[in-house]
Amino acid sequence: MDSVQKDQHPITGSSRSIVFGKYEMGRLLGQGTFAKVYYGKNLKTSESVAIKVINKDHVKKEEMMEQITREISIMRLVRHPNVIELKEVMATKQKIFFIMEYVKGGELFAKVAKGKLKEDVARKYFQQLLSAVDFCHSRGVSHRDLKPENLLLDENENLKVSDFGLSALPEQLRNGLLHTQCGTPAYVAPEVLRKKGYDGAKADIWSCGVILYVLLAGFLPFQDENLMRMYTKVFKAKFEFPPWFSYEVKRLISRLLVADPEKRISIQGIMRVPWFCKGFTMPVPVAFSIQEQVQENFLEQKDDDSESHKSSPPSYNAFEFISSMSSGFDLSSLFENRKKSGSLFTSKCSCSVIMNKLESLAKKLNLRTMIAKDCKVKMQSVSEGRKGKLSVTAEVFEVAPEVAVVEFSKSAGDTFEYRKLYEEDLRPALKDIVWSWQGECNSQE
């Protein structure tokens, strides 16, 4: 069945395009090298959405599969109030459809293009930007292309970070550093330009500093008609402050735009600066889940050899799902919310190794175990706790080959007892398979 069908509007009688029988696709909002973005509407809820349409053949021809794959994986990981939400991904043999949150306020760039912003307004946008970037970093994601053109505003003037096409996941590290040159020159950190490897999180902080300067000044800190002269200024962090910048702002930007990334202020340091803290409230991140039903349906559609999939983990990599489907496949449940306390860690071990470790650990802790076929294990205490028997679920997801994310969540019982088990027993016992713990602060908050 074709993904986009034509029918008549029930009232006006005019022709309209319907995507997978779920969304009405309207006017063209924007167009890039590899995709077109259309305004859309959910036929069931009347919610406005943005529909990003990507031609598979074009992506394959330009060898951009990895980038599209990574973008889906990353948007799946970074569910936050100040990050554009990816609602679902659907596809046919020819096209991929990203159904995304519709943000109608336009780019922050358009607002700055009219002139500098007042300090209170700039501070609000900077606070929201830092909150989103901090959350991305807690998930192991570096954006690498932060600039006002990639910062959108909703109808309530809240900032939304978009365009994760150049973002990096942990598996792109080599010797603990990233090595790909990318981003927009005026906003790129000096260590990125030097091609000697860089910390993606620290490079993002530099870009945030440039953005704050631009919001308050109305122009760039490093600019020159000659690109090499501009690079020289970036390498030396050589810039001047306009006379209207307050002392507090000058001091903060001076700590953000530091050429040596090791001496650059951290996000935690920024969040302790009095100027930043004024009126700041940390937004609550949106957790994620993968519902079992979706995985079961996927296995049924994939082939009849269900045994071969019992030990295969559900994947963050929606592009692998898309590529294997001959007709549209709804992955909406991959992007539903979860309101449970949980903790994440990344691992370089396979699903089977991780599952064996979890089983042996549960046995050692005298916990009953129930193993599901989709790399999920449920562990339950034998004795009653303050709120019944404590039940913990651990799910293993593939981010990429040789990189997995393991999520712990409390299914039942007392939160304090869960935290105690997690901190004192689970976390220390798993250190030999853990690459890095992710989002620990967010989960505790």
Contacts with 113 (C-beta within 8 Å, 6 or more apart), sequence order: none
| Mean pLDDT of the 242-270 span | 95
Give the highest mean pLDDT range of 17-26, 294-303, 383-392.
Answer: 17-26
Any idea how long the chain is?
445
Question: At residue 246, does pLDDT exceed 50?
Answer: yes
Is the whole-model pTM more than 0.85?
Answer: no
| Mean pLDDT of the 261-271 span | 94
Question: At residue 57, does pLDDT exceed 50?
Answer: yes
- 89, exposed or middle or buried, with CB in 10 Å at 0-12, 13-18, 19+? buried
Helices (H), 51-178: 56-61, 65-77, 108-113, 119-138
Residue 414 annotated among the catalytic residues of the structure: no
- Amino acid 249: pLDDT: 97
What three-state secondary structure class fits 202?
Answer: helix
CATH superfamily membership of 340-444 = Kinase associated domain 1, KA1 (3.30.310.80)
Question: At residue 405, does pLDDT exceed 60?
Answer: yes
What's the pLDDT band for 263 if we cut at 50, 70, 90? Answer: very high
108-277 fold: Transferase(Phosphotransferase); domain 1 (1.10.510)
What's the pLDDT band for 176 if we cut at 50, 70, 90? Answer: very low
Name the residue with higher pLDDT: 66 or 273: 273
Name the residue with higher pLDDT: 183 or 97: 97
- 73, exposed or middle or buried, with CB in 10 Å at 0-12, 13-18, 19+? buried
- 134, 145, 204, 374: the catalytic one is 145
Q: Of 35-49, 111-125, 311-325, where does mean pLDDT reach its minimum?
A: 311-325
Q: Of 48-52, 350-354, 403-407, 429-433, where does mean pLDDT reach its minimum?
A: 403-407
Question: At residue 178, does pLDDT exceed 50?
Answer: no
- Amino acid 395: pLDDT: 84
- Amino acid 190: pLDDT: 87
- Amino acid 407: pLDDT: 82
Question: At residue 210, does pLDDT exceed 50?
Answer: yes
- Amino acid 218: pLDDT: 92
Q: What does DSSP assign to residue 29? A: E
- Amino acid 148: pLDDT: 86
| Mean pLDDT of the 218-245 span | 88
Q: What does DSSP assign to residue 304? A: S
Domain residue spans of the chain? 4-101, 108-277, 340-444
d(Cα 268, Cα 250) in Å, to the nearest integer?
18
Q: Is 431 part of any known ligand binding site?
A: no
What's the pLDDT band for 300 if we cut at 50, 70, 90? Answer: very low
Question: At residue 322, does pLDDT exceed 70?
Answer: no
Q: What is the dihedral of CA 235, 241, 242, 248, to 10 degrees?
A: 140
| Mean pLDDT of the 303-331 span | 36
**Number of C-beta neighbours around residue 433 at 10 A:** 17
> Is 285 within 8 Å of 442 (Cβ atoms)?
yes
| Mean pLDDT of the 138-150 span | 81
Q: Of 62-66, 227-231, 290-294, where does mean pLDDT reach its minimum?
A: 290-294
Contacts with 267 (C-beta within 8 Å, 6 or more apart), sequence order: 130, 133, 134, 137, 201, 205
What three-state secondary structure class fits 220?
Answer: coil
What's the pLDDT band for 232 if we cut at 50, 70, 90? Answer: confident
- How much is the mean pLDDT over the chain? 75
Name the residue with higher pLDDT: 299 or 110: 110
| Mean pLDDT of the 389-416 span | 78
What's the pLDDT band for 406 if we cut at 50, 70, 90? Answer: confident
Name the residue with higher pLDDT: 292 or 114: 114
Name the residue with higher pLDDT: 312 or 303: 312
Question: At residue 287, does pLDDT exceed 50?
Answer: no
pLDDT tens-digit readout, 72-125: 776 777 778 898 888 888 887 788 888 989 988 888 888 888 889 999 999 999
4-101 fold: Phosphorylase Kinase; domain 1 (3.30.200)
State the amino acid at position 267 in one-letter form: I
What's the pLDDT band for 33 if we cut at 50, 70, 90? Answer: low
- Amino acid 238: pLDDT: 92
Question: At residue 127, does pLDDT exceed 80?
Answer: yes
- Amino acid 138: pLDDT: 82
- Amino acid 329: pLDDT: 32
